[in-house]
Amino acid sequence: MIAGTPLTLAVTGDVAMQLDNQDAFENALTIVSIATVVLIILLLLVIYRSPIAALLPIVTVSIVSAISPGLIALVAKATDLQVDQSLQIILTIVLFGVGTDYILFLLFRYRERLRAGDDKKEALVSAVSRVGEVIASAAAAIIIAFMALLLAIFGAFRSLGPGLSIAVAVMALAAVTLVPAVVSLLGPRVFWPSKSYKRVPKGTAFQAVGRFVGRRPAVVAAASGLFMIALALGSLGMATDYDQTSQLPEDTESSQGFRDLQAGFPAGALNPTTVYLRSDGGRLDTATLDQFATKLKETPGVGGIMPARGGAQAAVSQDGSAARINLLLATSPYSNEALDLAGGELRDVAHANAPAGTTAYVGGASSIFADVRHANDRDLRVIFPVAGVLIAIILALLLRAVVAPIYLMLAVVLGFFSTLGATVLVFQGIGDRPGLSFMLPTILYLFVVAIGTDYNILMIARLREEARLGNDPRKSADLAVEHGGPSVASAGLILAGTFASMMLAGIAFLSEMGFAVSIGIAISAFVMSMFLVPSLTALLGHKAWWPGHGDAPGGHGQPAPDREPVGAGTRQ
């Protein structure tokens, strides 16, 4: 029809963008899934030098991934829960991330016990008994954090919580049942062809790091704390972006068409703000409608009225009981200025000047996202403290202490703002974007607080274990970093890399989320768990376990062993 002419044709608008968005998410799922699997296999091959150990997480997560959607569908059907389109891609990343974490925790401990001289059965029993508590506590923290999303009034958040919680619960169950069963059948052959499980490493980087943390805890705590605070300052410059058109890949037809419209029409014409007027009885009077439209047009920030058919200011229904007035705002309909206007003064003007016997409503994209912003702000105020308190309770039950959970959660909160600050610096500073997706802070908080807490739980549990073996607080920090550091570093590297694969999706929101969560995981693993938490625990000493005595030798029914095995309380 337009062949041979200088014209171009594109289908755009809300429906077209939604369809392109669905296609983009489906393509992103394929890309991210492949990248995640390849990355995990390569990193595990480097860590264990064994194809069996490398494939064990892939096979386990694949089984859980096949089971979880059916369970989620059953729950969604029973509870009439809407499932967001982004759940599948986030679910894939979460399962590969936490599943690999849990299996790594178990395999590292199993290898450690084999090196200590245990036979294969004793080594597995010891590994499951020690790491099982960590996995259960870490999974509980994640599940509670995700379930806190049910408190959200924003539907996209609320729909993610139950599905992710179900999947994590299934993954944790598999990690403490299926995986140990497979390892019991294979024994040390799980590390084939490598024989490294027979050798105790000497002079490792983690020994050096542990020794430094144990000798200079004050310096380490101050340096790591200041580093995180410096990054956190960047969060002060954060701006939120509600422009959904910017989230699509630039090569989609709807995006190209929308950009062409932006170049040729006023900003407000791309998505007018619509004021609806409904009569409680009888027909609407034309003169009254014109007066009402004039009042709306005079509102500061309104650029004009998009005429209806025939040049009238309002389009009237066939029976005359309802009318629609399309307003052209002076700024982009997705800007914060437009949201302020549509959700504030314009609504006030419409409600105050609605003719007697009528009711006015303000609709359109600007009004919708004004409500979304209000819901998002409310959800941040509710979900953050609830999730934080519940995770702190999990930590208190695990550690039977009050002091340690408090500074652990304070460290996690600082980690959240550090991550947000780094993301602002990269995307708003270097990338020159107008803001970050409005959904990012909530998702980032939950992922960094919940999943990042895995490493804190593993490290604090190891600190307690070393203290129970009779070591003083500084020596406990030294040994905890030496023996717990490799699993934390390996798991953190894999999980950060897994989330970073989301940056390959070509969707702005997933790129932001992938970068932010991967940086957050890296900070949690390599700054908080490796340096800040052990150094603070060493400085506080026995006070960290108040009011209980979790660090007492043989405390809480876990007697110190009658020998000093490699990897638990001694360095050889």
Residue-wise pLDDT for 443-473, tens only, equals 787 777 777 788 888 899 899 989 888 899 9
Binned at pLDDT 50, 70 and 90, residue 554 comes out as: low
DSSP secondary-structure letter at 325?
A: E
Arch. (CATH architecture) of 272-363: 2-Layer Sandwich (3.30)
**What's the burial of 63, exposed, middle or buried (CB within 10 Å: 0-12/13-18/19+)?**
middle
Residue 244: count other Cβ atoms within 10 Å of its Cβ.
18
Convert the pLDDT of each residue in 362-377 to its tens digit: 999 899 999 999 998 8
pLDDT tops 50 at residue 572: no
pLDDT tops 90 at residue 418: yes
User: What is the average pLDDT across 353-365?
Assistant: 91
What are the residue ranges of helices labelled H in 116-154?
120-147
As a whole number, the mean pLDDT across the chain is: 85
Lowest mean pLDDT among 24-28, 132-136, 339-343, 564-568: 564-568
Domain 14-248+370-557 fold: Multidrug efflux transporter AcrB transmembrane fold (1.20.1640)
CATH code 1.20.1640.10 region(s) in the chain: 14-248+370-557
User: What is the average pLDDT across 204-216?
Assistant: 92
pLDDT tops 90 at residue 181: yes
Binned at pLDDT 50, 70 and 90, residue 295 comes out as: very high
Count the helix, strand and coil residues of the chain and give each as a percent rounded to the nearest 5: 70, 5, 20
User: What is the average pLDDT across 388-399?
Assistant: 87
CATH code 3.30.70.1320 region(s) in the chain: 272-363
* Burial call 360-370: b when 16+ CB within 10 Å, e when fewer: bebebbbbbbb
pLDDT of residue 481: 94
The answer to whether the CB of 439 falls within 8 A of the CB of 160 is: no
pLDDT of residue 566: 47
Lowest mean pLDDT among 248-252, 391-395, 564-568: 564-568
pLDDT of residue 26: 73
pLDDT of residue 513: 85
Convert the pLDDT of each residue in 528-546 to its tens digit: 999 999 999 999 998 998 8
Residue of 278 and 159 predicted with greater confidence: 278
Phi, psi of 314 (to 5 degrees): -130, 145
pLDDT tops 50 at residue 316: yes
pLDDT of residue 204: 80
pLDDT of residue 312: 83
